[in-house]
Amino acid sequence: MTLNTNLLSFEVPLDPAVAGNGYLNRWSPDINAGLWLYSANYFAGVSGQQIVPSKLRWTTDTVKLVGGKLLPHIFFTAGNKLFINDDLTLLPSILIKYINPAPTSWDVNAKLQYRDFLWAGGSYRHNDGFAAMLGINVSNTFNVGYSYDITTTRLNTVSHGTHEILVGFLLGNRYGDWCPRNLW
């Protein structure tokens, strides 16, 4: 982990926690893992980040910051593919996020897909925000997408939304599917 103290700006000019100039570095092991199960029409997954909790400490000759902690994050997801007609499919899904001691949060998502080629979708993050998404499967190994996310919390006074661009490469797509078997 690296912290560039030159890019920090505080109301109190000299914060003793980050009083040094330059970069503060610390090595800390991290373990992330996940399991993804899917069929042609359903999927489910569980994953964890920062599985082993670790304390966050910056230590140099002038700086000692103690008390921060990286906590485990657990994610559960599930969804299915509903055939509306020969050209359109709807892919509803849910994502549940658990980070103790924060309250459990959840997202509800839906993606409408036209002939496994074009897609548009939306997402609602409980008590936090909304997102809109568009994408195209350029070929059976390459896709591009765009997402705009806006928060509805007090954070929106300083963040007026985020733009995300997705570039996907489907490795090992030996069957040449335009819509991979894992649905996304």
Question: What are residue 41's phi and psi, to 5 degrees?
Answer: -125, -10
Q: What is the pLDDT of residues 13-31, one digit of tens each?
A: 665 556 566 666 667 778 8
Find residue 142's DSSP bridge partners: 169
Contacts of 18 (CB under 8 A, 6+ apart): 3, 5, 8, 24, 58, 63, 65
Q: Which residue has the higher pLDDT, 133 or 180?
A: 133
Q: What is the pLDDT of residues 157-176, one digit of tens each?
A: 888 889 999 999 877 766 65
CA–CA distances in Å: residue 34 to residues 37, 45, 168: 10, 7, 19
With 0-12 / 13-18 / 19 or more C-beta atoms within 10 angstroms meaning exposed / middle / buried, residue 30 is exposed
Give pTM, 2 decimals: 0.69
Percent of the chain with pLDDT over 90: 43
Asked if 53 and 71 count as a contact pair (C-beta separation under 8 A), the reply is yes
Out of 36-50, 147-161, 164-178, which region has the weakest mean confidence (pLDDT)? Answer: 164-178
Q: Which residue has the higher pLDDT, 63 or 141?
A: 141
Q: What is the pLDDT of residues 96-134, one digit of tens each?
A: 999 888 889 999 999 999 988 899 999 999 998 999 999
Rounded Cα distance, 184 and 79, in Å: 10
